[in-house]
Amino acid sequence: MQSAVACILHMDLDSFYVSVEVRRNPDLRDRPVVVGGGVVLSASYPARRFGIRSGMSTAAARRRCPRLVVVGGNFAEYAELSRRVFRICRRFTPVVEPISIDEAFLDVGGSVHLLGEPRVIGTSLRLAIRDETGLPSSVGIARTKHLAKIASRRAKPDGLVAVDPRRELAFLHALEVEMIWGIGPTTAAKLHRLGIRTVGDLAAVPVAGLAGSLGSGAARHLHALAWNRDPRSVRADGRRGSIGAQSTFGRNVTGRTAARRVLLRLADRVSTRLRAAGREGRTITVTARFADFETVTRRTTVPGTTSSTTMIYTVARGLLDELLRRSRGRGLRLVGVSVGGLRDAPPLQLELPLPGHDVPRPGSPGDLAQRAIDRAVDDARASFGREAVQRASLLGEIPLS
């Protein structure tokens, strides 16, 4: 139920991966820097002034900025700093919902009588993160999760924006329509063709008038957000029950090969986080959002817990292929993969080699070999950067099989 008081905070670490690299090497401060290898994972604000964005190839980024500094990165360090930041968040409220490695929602409604109004809490949170980790963050405060996330984007870099409930529609409707969470270049172009440039323009068009261009589901969803109708509450995560990652495409993706390449990157990212946290899981979930904004998930449970990149990807690929068969030709806007049912990595029970399994069972000779590969890759990346070792399928234009 939507609160009458603006007590939802969205905390977002600014250019997180780059900020960690600057923390380690202050000489990078104020320089155009990206973290990534073949693909930009994070770009500094000086780099963004050249039009460099996450998801862009580093080759294209270098063409835009020949002076660009490219850093491979260290995901184990990123994961540890993320955990430290979320522990700081939980000092201000137990109701913290991480939504990625560098951002979280907080509901501080129960903390105001002890810590002050939400703006005071947001300011204190940002200072604590800066003092204890050296990382800059931005905070948005509003009555809804959707508007709090928009407010944190408006606060960047390194700022705070609190939306007065009495003026939230005036604040929201004046923004460019691209500020709405989930509107990418393709949807924005469709809206522009309808003469819709601002969120206020979108709010003024009836759902029926949007459905012809966007589809009925997307029309209802975006129209509700334009009026700040977002009933979702902040859900405390306890100890995190799943670890996942997702990627939103700048255009509708229809090819299976392209979708699989993205899925492999996500599986690699998730499995690395699992191993860094000393966790394993059994339930693998794939999420797909189609061009009409319908979101579908498929999940399966594997025998025994795993943090293996190969196992997670192989299972996730089968789930993605099933979703693509049901897509009816609709393009993909988003793909995500997560591993749930987490527990601390247990002692490994060795198994005899058994025929008839597409995925190596935990403890089997094939699984032991994959674990050795994962450890070697993790060690190499920890020493030489995340891009030091990559799967051949993600290099250049080599397609996945």
Known catalytic residues?
103
Please check whether residue 34 is in contact with residue 70, taking contact to mean a CB–CB distance below 8 angstroms: yes
Full 3-state SS string of the chain: CCCCCCCEEEEEECCHHHHHHHHHCHHHCCCCEEEECCEEEEECHHHHCCCCCCCCEHHHHHHHCCCCEEECCCHHHHHHHHHHHHHHHHHHCCCEEEEECCEEEEECCCCHHHHCCHHHHHHHHHHHHHHHHCCCEEEEEECCHHHHHHHHHHHCCCCEEECCHHHHHHHHHCCEHHHCCCCCHHHHHHHHHCCCCEHHHHHHCCHHHHHHHHCHHHHHHHHHHHCCCCCCCCCCCCCCCEEEEEEEEEEEECCHHHHHHHHHHHHHHHHHHHHHHCEEEEEEEEEEEECCCCEEEEEEEEEEEECCHHHHHHHHHHHHHHHHHCCCCCCEEEEEEEEECCEECCCCCCCCCCCCCCCCCCCCHHHHHHHHHHHHHHHHHHHHCHHHCCCHHHCCCCCCC
